[in-house]
Chains A and B, each alone.
Chain A
Amino acid sequence: MSPLLLGVGEEGQTDITLLASSASTDSICQNGSGLKERNYMGLSDCSSVDSSAVSSLSEEKKNNLNLKATELRLGLPGSQSPERDPEIFLMSSAKLDEKPLFPLLPSNDGFCPLSQKIVVSGNKRVFSDAMDGFSEVRSSVFTEGNWLFPTAGPDSETAQSVTQGKFPVSSGINVMLPSKPTPNSGVKSISLKENSGAQPATMKEIVPPKVLQERPRAANETSHNHRSAANNNSSAPAAKAQVVGWPPVRSFRKNTLAVTSRNNDEVDGKPGPGTLFIKVSMDGAPYLRKVDLRTYTAYQELSSALEKMFSCFTIGQCGSHGVPGKEILSESKLRDLLHGSEYVLTYEDKDGDWMLVGDVPWEMFIDSCKRMRIMKSSDAIGLVLTSGKRLTVNTALETPREQELASVNRKIAFRPAIQMGNNPWQGGKTQEGNQVKSREESGHLRTGGASRGLDAHLIM
C-alpha cells in the first residue's frame, strides 16, 4: 500500500468519527486486515514513507482518543461504547452482516484484542476505502456496502435497519445459506427474522469463527457460510489466503510465479511481476512514491499516472477530496500547472546525471532511469544542462561507439518535461525543432550549445 492511500485515508476521518458505535464492529474487522496491510506497506516502502508514516500513526492515535470524545459529544442515542453490553454487540455485529466475523479469520495472533481496543480507527476504515479506489471496480458490490456503511447512522437501531435496507447483498447471503431458501425471498425474510432479535441464533452464528480461528478448515456448515461471507468481501484478502487448496492453482505454478513476481507491489491495480520499481519524489511532497516503469508503455501513460499520484500536492488541498472520482478534476489542474511549467519531471540516469524525462526514447529511458523527481522548475534550471542538440529517435544505434555517442548526446539534449498527450519521440514533433540535427553535428555540442539550452529552459 502506498502512503498516498494513507493520505487519502486521513481525510476520511471525519466520516469515521461520526460512525459511532454500530460502525465499530465493522471497523474491528477492518483492523484485522488493515493492520497487516499497513505493516506490509511500511516494510516495502520504509525508506520512503518516513515522516508521513509517523504522522499517520499519530493520526491514528488521535483518532482513538477522538473516538470517545466524539461519541460523547454527539450524544448519539443507542451508540455503543467499547464497554457496552456484549449481547448488543453480538447482535448488531451479526445483523449488520458477516463482516465483523471475517477479521477473526486472519487474526490468529492478537490482532483482535488489539483492534477491539482501537475500535474506531480512521486509518483502517480508510484503508479499505482507499483500496476500493484502487482495486477492481467489479469487486465493489460488497465493498460498496462496506464503504457506505459508516454513513448509515450513529444510532445502532437505525443503523441496523438502514443496513438491512441498504445492503440486502451481504445480509441476504448471510441468512440465505443456512436456511436454504430460494435466494429471492432471502432478503425480506432476513430482516424480519433479525429484527425480531433472535438472540440465540445470533449467538450461535458468532461462535464458529472462533473455531475457524483455530482450525481454518473446520468442517461445519455454519463455518462454511461464515467463511464464504468473509470471502465475498473483497476487501479481505487475508481471509481468502486462509482457504487451503484455493484457488485451485498448481503449487508449482504458484511457486514459479511467486519467484518471478518478486515484488507484488502494484501500481494502478496492475500486478507487478517482472517489475522495475523506481522511486519518485516531488518537491514539497512529504513522501515518495514508487512506480513500476514496466507497467507503462509510453511517456504519456507514465505522466498521467504520476499526475494522479501527486496531484494533491500541486493543488495543495489534498485533504478535501478523498473520492477517487474527483481525481479527474485535480488531474486537469495539474496539467495546467505543468503547462504553466511550475514543475518538471526529471530523472537520474545510470551515470548519476539528472536529466529531463522525455529526452530519450521510452525504452532507453526505462533502461537508464534510477529514480525520478518532480522538481520545481525554478530549481531545475541549474541542473538541466546545456545543449539543445540531440539525436533523432529513428537513428539506429548499432555499434557501441554509436551508443556511446547517443548517450552523450542525450545528456546534452533538453526537453520540457511532460508534454501532455504528445510523445515527442513517436509523433516526431518537437517543440524545439532546431534541436533535431544530424548526429555528426550533435556530437560536439556539449559546451557550445550551453547557452541555447538555458534559453530554452527559461522559455519553458
Chain B
Amino acid sequence: MTYFPEEVLEHIFDFLSSHLDRNAVSLVCKSWFRVERWSRRRVFIGNCYAVSPERLIARFPRVRALTLKGKPHFADFNLVPHDWGGFVSPWIEAMTKSYPGLEELRLKRMVVSDDSLELLSRSFPNFKSLVLVSCEGFTTDGLAAIAANCKHLLELDLQENEVDDSRGQWLSCFPDSCTSLVSLNFACLKGEVNLVALERLVARCPNLRSLRLNRSVNLDTLRKILMQAPQLVDLGTGSYVHHPNSEAYVKLINVVKSYKSVRSLSGFLEVAPRCLPSIYPICLNLTSLNLSYAPGIQSTQLIKLIHHCRNLQRLWILDCIGDKGLGVVASSCKELQELRVFPSDPHGVGNAAVTEEGLVAISMGCPKLHSLLYFCQQMTNAALITVAKNCPNFTRFRLCILDPKKPDPVTLQPLDEGFGAIVQSCKGLRRLSLSGLLTDRVFLYIGVYAEQLEMLSVAFAGEGDKGMLYVLNGCKNLRKLEIMDGPFGDVALLMDVGKYETMRSLWMSSCEVTLGGCKALASKMPMINVEIINENDQMEENPDDGMKVEKLYLYRTLDGSRRDAPDFVWTL
C-alpha cells in the first residue's frame, strides 16, 4: 500500500465523509493510519466517558469539528438524575491548548456552563458553529459571550435546551461587524429577546438561511424580518398571533405571499388559528413542517393547512390531528419520508390520541416513508402487518402506545406478531422502539430478522431472560440497548459479556438485575464501566449482592471509571 505518496492518500481520504469509512481506512496499514490520523477533521464521540480528551487529541491532532454526546438517551425522559454528569468543560479546556483551529462543536445531552461557553468563545479564533441539543447548565450570559466574541460565527443552533434566561440582551451582543450568520435558532429560549437588535442582526446577515425564533418574537417583528431576509430557507416563527383584520396582518399576508424561498417551516409556539391561512401560499414549497410545538392549532385547521402542503418530506405534528387528519396527510403528502406524531397531552390521559387507523392510512398513502415516531392510543397486529407490507423501507420505527402493556384491542393478543412483521419486512431497520403488550416472542423475531438494528428501546416488555438473550445473540449490529421495566435479570446480563464490547451502551432500569450480577460483569470486563445509579439511598454501606439494581448503565470505555461521578453513581 505504498503506491501513493501520502499527499495523494490524504486527498483521497478527504472524500470520505463518513467517520465509519475513515475508521475502516485507518485500520488498513500503519501508513494509512498515519495519514488518516493527521487528516481527520471531524470526530464523533457518542459517549463523552468512552474516551478522554487527551486521548482524542493524541490520536487526531488536527480536529476542526467535534460532536460529543453526554448522558444516556433515557435522560430525556427524566430517568437520569439531574447532576449525573456529562460535563463539557474538561473537553473545552483540553482543546483550548491543542485545537486552536476548532471551528465546530456539537453537543447533545451535556452539561454546559457559562464559563465553558466564555472560554470557548475566547479560545478558538476561527470558531464558526455551535450546536447544543438537549443541553443544560448555561444561561443567556454564556450565549452573550458567544455572540460577542466569535467573530466568524456562522451557526448558533439551540435545540430543546433548558436555558436560564438571566436577561434578554444577549442578542444585542452580536457586534455590528457580525454579518456572517447562516443559521440562528433560539426557539427554546423562554425569555424576551431584544426585537430591535434581532431585526438589525437579520438585516446585516445576507447569508442567513435558517432562522428559528422563540415565542417572544411577535408577528409584526416577523414581518419586518421577512422583508429584510427574503432568502430564508428554514423559518421558525415565534408567536403567530394577530387580529385577522388588522393592518399589520394584511401586510404580513402580502409579505408571505411573495415569500418563495422557504422550504422548512416550524414554530407557531403561540398561534391564533385564524392567522394560519396567511401561510397557505407558501405551503406548496414546503418539504419540512414542524408543528409539534403548536398545540394551539386544532384539528380542523391542521387539516386545512396540510391540504396545501403537497410536497412535504418531513412532518412533525401533534396527535390532535387525529386519524382523520392523518388520512388527509396520506392523501396529500405523497413524498413523505419522515413522520413524527407527538402526544399533545404527554402527561398521560390522552384524549386526542391517534390510533392504528391513522398509521395504516399513512402507510398506504406515503410509500416513501422510512422514519416514524408515533405516539398512539392503541395499535393492532393487523395494522402493523399492513404497515410492514406497505412501507418496507423503514430505517427508524418508534411506536409508543401511551398505555404501557396495552394489547391488541381487537384480539387482546400481545403485539408480537405485528412488530415481528415490521422487523421481518424492513430489512434496513436501524432503530426500533417497542411498546404495548409483548412477550419474549417479539425478541425472538428481532433477534432473527433485525440484522441492521443499531438501537433498540424496550419498555414493559418480555417475560424473562430469554427475551433479552434473543436480542443480544441475534442483532449483530446492535450498538445501544435500553430497557425500562423489563423482567430481565442476571442470567441475561451475564450470558454473553463479550457482546458489550461491541456495543456503545446498555441501560437497564427497573429490571431484575442484582448487584452481584453487576459486580460479576464488572470483574470480567475491565474495559466496561458498570455504573449503578443509587438514588434515595436505597442501598446501604454494605449492600447484599442479591439486591436489585434500580438503574444500571454500562458502556465500553478506554478511560477507566470516570472521576466526576456524583455520590449516587457507583462504578463497580
Given known A-B contacts A260-B270, A274-B271, A254 and B351 have beta carbons under 8 A apart:
no
Given known A-B contacts A136-B351, A363-B244, A249 and B412 have beta carbons under 8 A apart:
no
Q: List 26 A-B contacts (CB under 8 A).
A: A138-B377, A141-B409, A183-B407, A219-B485, A221-B487, A224-B485, A231-B404, A232-B405, A232-B406, A240-B402, A245-B509, A246-B404, A247-B375, A248-B76, A248-B400, A249-B346, A250-B76, A253-B160, A253-B342, A257-B293, A257-B346, A269-B352, A270-B320, A271-B295, A274-B271, A274-B296
User: Most B CB atoms within 10 A — which of A138, A228, A294?
Assistant: A138
In the bound complex, CA of A93 to CA of B255 (Å): 66
Number of A-B pairs, beta carbon distance below 8 Å: 183
- Docked-complex contact A180 and B405, CB < 8 angstroms: no
- Contacts of A245 on B, CB cut-off 8 Å? 74, 77-79, 459, 484, 509
In the bound complex, CA of A252 to CA of B163 (Å): 11
Mask of A212-228 contacts with B, CB within 8 angstroms, 1/0: 00000101110010011
- Docked-complex contact B298 and A248, CB < 8 angstroms: no
B residues 402-446 in Cβ contact with A at 8 Å: 402-407, 409, 412-414, 433, 437, 439
- Docked-complex contact B403 and A232, CB < 8 angstroms: yes
- Docked-complex contact B405 and A183, CB < 8 angstroms: no
- Contacts of B245 on A, CB cut-off 8 Å? 364, 396-398, 403
In the bound complex, CA of A387 to CA of B457 (Å): 67
Given known A-B contacts A219-B550, A249-B375, A266 and B347 have beta carbons under 8 A apart:
no
Mask of B472-509 contacts with A, CB within 8 angstroms, 1/0: 00000000000011010000000000000000000001
State the majority secondary structure of interface residues on B. loop
Given known A-B contacts A139-B377, A266-B351, A274-B296, A172 and B412 have beta carbons under 8 A apart:
yes
- Contacts of A232 on B, CB cut-off 8 Å? 403, 405-407
The chain A residue with its CB closest to the CB of B159 is: A252
- Docked-complex contact A248 and B457, CB < 8 angstroms: yes
Judge if B217 is at the interface, Cβ distance under 8 Å. Answer: no
- Contacts of B147 on A, CB cut-off 8 Å? none
In the bound complex, CA of A240 to CA of B74 (Å): 18
In the bound complex, CA of A221 to CA of B460 (Å): 10
- Docked-complex contact B342 and A249, CB < 8 angstroms: yes
Judge if B264 is at the interface, Cβ distance under 8 Å. Answer: no
- Contacts of A396 on B, CB cut-off 8 Å? 245
A residues 48-75 in Cβ contact with B at 8 Å: none
Judge if B463 is at the interface, Cβ distance under 8 Å. Answer: yes
Given known A-B contacts A183-B413, A271-B345, A397-B245, A228 and B460 have beta carbons under 8 A apart:
yes
Judge if A92 is at the interface, Cβ distance under 8 Å. Answer: no
Determine how close the nearest CB of chain B comes to the CB of A229; give it in whole angstroms.
Answer: 8
- Docked-complex contact B405 and A231, CB < 8 angstroms: yes
- Docked-complex contact B273 and A294, CB < 8 angstroms: yes
A residues 349-404 in Cβ contact with B at 8 Å: 363-364, 367, 396-399, 403
- Docked-complex contact B355 and A138, CB < 8 angstroms: yes
The chain A residue with its CB closest to the CB of B536 is: A215
- Contacts of B352 on A, CB cut-off 8 Å? 269-271
Judge if B129 is at the interface, Cβ distance under 8 Å. Answer: no
- Docked-complex contact A241 and B348, CB < 8 angstroms: yes
- Contacts of B79 on A, CB cut-off 8 Å? 244-245
Mask of A309-344 contacts with B, CB within 8 angstroms, 1/0: 000000000000000000000000000000000000
Mask of B135-165 contacts with A, CB within 8 angstroms, 1/0: 0000000000000000000000000111000
The chain A residue with its CB closest to the CB of B538 is: A215
- Contacts of A172 on B, CB cut-off 8 Å? 412
User: Most B CB atoms within 10 A — which of A135, A249, A398?
Assistant: A249
Judge if B167 is at the interface, Cβ distance under 8 Å. Answer: no
- Docked-complex contact B320 and A243, CB < 8 angstroms: no
Determine how close the nearest CB of chain B comes to the CB of A451; give it in whole angstroms.
Answer: 31
- Contacts of B19 on A, CB cut-off 8 Å? none
Given known A-B contacts A221-B487, A245-B509, A274-B271, A257 and B244 have beta carbons under 8 A apart:
no
Partner of A247, one of B247, B402, B405: B402
- Contacts of B190 on A, CB cut-off 8 Å? 259
The chain A residue with its CB closest to the CB of B377 is: A138
In the bound complex, CA of A237 to CA of B346 (Å): 12
Mask of A248-268 contacts with B, CB within 8 angstroms, 1/0: 111111101111110010100
The chain B residue with its CB closest to the CB of A221 is: B487
Given known A-B contacts A294-B298, A396-B245, A246 and B274 have beta carbons under 8 A apart:
no
In the bound complex, CA of A231 to CA of B350 (Å): 12
The chain A residue with its CB closest to the CB of B353 is: A136
- Docked-complex contact A398 and B247, CB < 8 angstroms: yes
In the bound complex, CA of A266 to CA of B345 (Å): 11
A residues 109-143 in Cβ contact with B at 8 Å: 135-136, 138-139, 141
- Docked-complex contact A250 and B403, CB < 8 angstroms: no
In the bound complex, CA of A311 to CA of B417 (Å): 47
Determine how close the nearest CB of chain A comes to the CB of B457; give it in whole angstroms.
Answer: 7
Determine how close the nearest CB of chain A comes to the CB of B86; give it in whole angstroms.
Answer: 15
Mask of B168-196 contacts with A, CB within 8 angstroms, 1/0: 00000000000000000000101000000
- Contacts of B346 on A, CB cut-off 8 Å? 247, 249, 253-254, 257
Chain A interface residue count, CB cutoff 8 Å, equals 62
In the bound complex, CA of A250 to CA of B487 (Å): 25
Judge if A105 is at the interface, Cβ distance under 8 Å. Answer: no
- Docked-complex contact A273 and B344, CB < 8 angstroms: yes
- Docked-complex contact B344 and A240, CB < 8 angstroms: no
The chain A residue with its CB closest to the CB of B405 is: A228
- Contacts of A30 on B, CB cut-off 8 Å? none
Judge if A25 is at the interface, Cβ distance under 8 Å. Answer: no
- Contacts of B250 on A, CB cut-off 8 Å? 398
Judge if A4 is at the interface, Cβ distance under 8 Å. Answer: no
- Docked-complex contact A251 and B76, CB < 8 angstroms: yes
In the bound complex, CA of A415 to CA of B173 (Å): 57
- Docked-complex contact B403 and A217, CB < 8 angstroms: no
- Contacts of B296 on A, CB cut-off 8 Å? 260, 273-274, 294
In the bound complex, CA of A269 to CA of B355 (Å): 15
Judge if B378 is at the interface, Cβ distance under 8 Å. Answer: yes
Given known A-B contacts A138-B378, A232-B403, A237-B348, A297 and B300 have beta carbons under 8 A apart:
yes
Judge if A206 is at the interface, Cβ distance under 8 Å. Answer: no
| 9 nearest A-B pairs in the assembled complex, by CB-CB distance | A274-B296, A273-B295, A228-B405, A249-B346, A245-B77, A237-B349, A240-B348, A252-B160, A245-B79
The chain B residue with its CB closest to the CB of A403 is: B245
- Contacts of A295 on B, CB cut-off 8 Å? 298
Partner of A219, one of B269, B348, B439, B512: B512
- Contacts of A266 on B, CB cut-off 8 Å? 351
- Docked-complex contact B348 and A135, CB < 8 angstroms: no
